[in-house]
Chains A and B, each alone.
Chain A
Amino acid sequence: MNEVKVVEGSEAVALAVKACRPHVISAYPISPQTHIVESLARMVADGELDAQYVRVESEFSAASVLAGASAAGSRSYTASSSQGLLLMTEVLYASAGMRLPFVMTGVNRSISAPINIQVDHQDTMSLRDAGLIQFYVESSQEAYDVHLAAFKIAEDPQIMLPVMVCMDGWVLTHSYERVAFADQKAVDEFLPPFRPENYLDPAHPKSWGSYAEADVLMEFKYAIHRAMSLGKARIKEILAEVAAFTGRDHGGLIEAYRTADADVVLVAMGSMVGTIKDAVDELRQGGKKVGLVKIRCYRPFPYEEIEEAIRGAKVVGVMDANFSMGSEGAVGLDLKAKLCGRPEAPLIIDYIAGLGGREINAQTIRKLVARTEDVYRSRLILPESEWVDLNPAILS
């Protein structure tokens, strides 16, 4: 039933999108996202995918086309990276506000300047407050499976928000991996056609995108937050449904890896997770009680699940491939904010690593675990996030 092929990560995503039968695809080229939308374009050109493909003049218009298509009642999809995602920012906020449930892949890439096309999470992190549901994936297989879930999550009547699946550029999009594909019939049974309660229809004229004054605006915003918070349970159910029909369970909102008795827990997202898991296994062999929390769903933030997984840990090291200038890494901030004031909360150290594609390997992880233990033992109060592997010669 599940066909297995070795494919490029981008192709895996395109095949997942195809299996979800979108009506409308709109895209603009930017590396390293482009292979996904090229694959989809080829599928449309060859008649393998029956979708309207709108070739736009900017990422801003790509997202805008999705907004229009989604409001008109069509399942729609786009992908972008880096500067392209930033250009879409205004449209994404408005689309979440108007509860337009399209799906997009955020192929992670660094933000200018300096211009750089390698992976980090600064681009999608810059959109974390837009009202999008955000997933981060570890592998091409997980990218495939999460995209199947994404449309159903977005279109759930209790949620109705855009979903962004974040996937590390190059490392995942351009590498070839063994990927198992779902049976089309199973996908169709899982994901019925998009039939929204409201859509642009002359038979039932309604006005969309109203001007809201202070008397109602806060309620609109809170409604998005509530859809996310209450949506957590629904997201878990839908991920479990995908796990059931694909036979692959990547976990729920998080994956807790060897955390049960861990003294030191790392928290990470994206493709670096694979490297960290290997390093954790190796450290465990050496007798160190190390574990990992992989965040799969970042918005809504799975605070309860993380708290459960790190209960009993002495110290937590957060790996942020992003940075809030003048402050700290985003995931570290999220976690600290949620744990602040909790009795027996572990010490949290925030590491900034891997920006602009800087390598994170097993040695990096071993070093960070050692540093984390040192900080814990010496009761150091760190003044700010620790930037990993900075070169003092360049800084001077």
Chain B
Amino acid sequence: MCAAKVETRESLFVSGHRACHGCGLALAVRHILEATGPNVIVVSPTGCLETFTSPYGYSPWRVPWIHHVFENAPAVASGVVAALKAQGRPVTRVVAIGGDGATFDIGFGALSGMLERGDDVLYICTDNGAYMNTGGQRSGATPSWASTTTHPAGKQSVGKTERKKDLPEIVAAHGIPYVATASVAYLRDLKKKVKKAMTFHGPRYIQIDTPCPSGWNFPSHLTLEVGRQAVKCGLVPLFEMENGKIIGVRKLKKKLPVTEYLQGQKRYRHLFESDGGQSELQKLQAEADKNIEKYGLMESG
């Protein structure tokens, strides 16, 4: 069943939705749609985006939008693409926007299937590194040593001991034409990547770092600052891949120590409160350094 018609305004994602103060995801979605333009159908899995945009009778979406269940957005998107093809509506494009839980974990099989089939879907993962809609539980996208409600730091725990799944690389291994990472802190770069992705046909993937003030526990006016720090320290490298090859990275003028990024977030507080956290902080710095080297992030380098 359909909700009532949405209100008329310039933007394709209008105000009045119920996202938290300072939500990185909501900001990202508005700019994604500015880049795609109006001739798109958006598919979303269950998650924050679905919850805060779809209370029955209200909708901020000024493009057709469909949510079905948690783990099937890529397959629903494939179905929409198949229908558009069958009906001869080639101008309308399909964009899926899902969180990291839906993308890295529960919907991963469906995502891989969609990529393997080569369906004409731009899949955008808005990554805040945990199941924020249900209160911040660990996901495959949770970075190492972050404390989550299902893998909390404690007397005998330093938070998540495993690595964040390297999804851009896994997605790229499907041999798709375009893969990029972006950050809501760099909106011009984000929109440029979305626009570029729209010029390709076949499956495309963009992973956007969307800091979550409620889940990471930082003041809600600092979303963009926290996002910038994540990029500047090297933990969130911004790059573009075409046909499996890196074609560009966002260079860093100066390397920010990871502690500058981590210390303001409650999910890492335990690393700063005990001496034991030092070794984890060093490991996180090593991970950032590895990214800097792997992607050639330093301007001088």
Contact = CB atoms under 8 A, between A and B. Distances in A.
Interface of A: 23-24, 26, 51-52, 54-58, 60-62, 64-74, 76, 90-91, 94-95, 98-99, 198, 200-202, 204-213, 216, 220, 223
B71 A60 contact: yes
> Which 5 residue pairs are nearest across A and B when measured between Cβ atoms?
A68-B79, A57-B113, A64-B75, A72-B83, A209-B67
B3 A68 contact: no
Contact of A208 (B55, B67, B82): B67
A71 B80 contact: yes
A54 B61 contact: no
Given A71-B66, A206-B3, A209-B54, A64 B76 contact: yes
A26 B79 contact: yes
A73 B66 CA distance: 13
B92 interface: yes
A213 to B, nearest CB: 7
A64 B110 contact: yes
Chain B interface size range? 35 or more
Contact of A54 (B65, B68, B71, B78): B78
Nearest to A28: B113
A213 B18 CA distance: 15
A381 B150 CA distance: 52
Contacts of A58: 109-110, 113
Contact of A60 (B38, B110, B117): B110
Contact of B59 (A51, A91, A210): A210
Given A57-B109, A207-B65, A208-B2, A68 B75 contact: yes
Contacts of B41: 72, 200, 202
Nearest to A224: B1
A51 B85 CA distance: 9
B56 A55 contact: no
B84 interface: yes
A69 B3 contact: no
Nearest to B74: A61
Contact of A65 (B78, B86, B92): B78
19 contacts: A24-B83, A26-B78, A52-B86, A57-B112, A61-B109, A66-B79, A68-B68, A68-B79, A68-B81, A72-B41, A72-B79, A74-B82, A99-B1, A200-B41, A206-B59, A207-B54, A208-B2, A210-B55, A211-B50
Contact of B72 (A64, A74, A216): A64
Interface string B72-109: 10111111111111110000100000000000000001
A69 B41 CA distance: 12
A24 B66 contact: no
B63 interface: yes
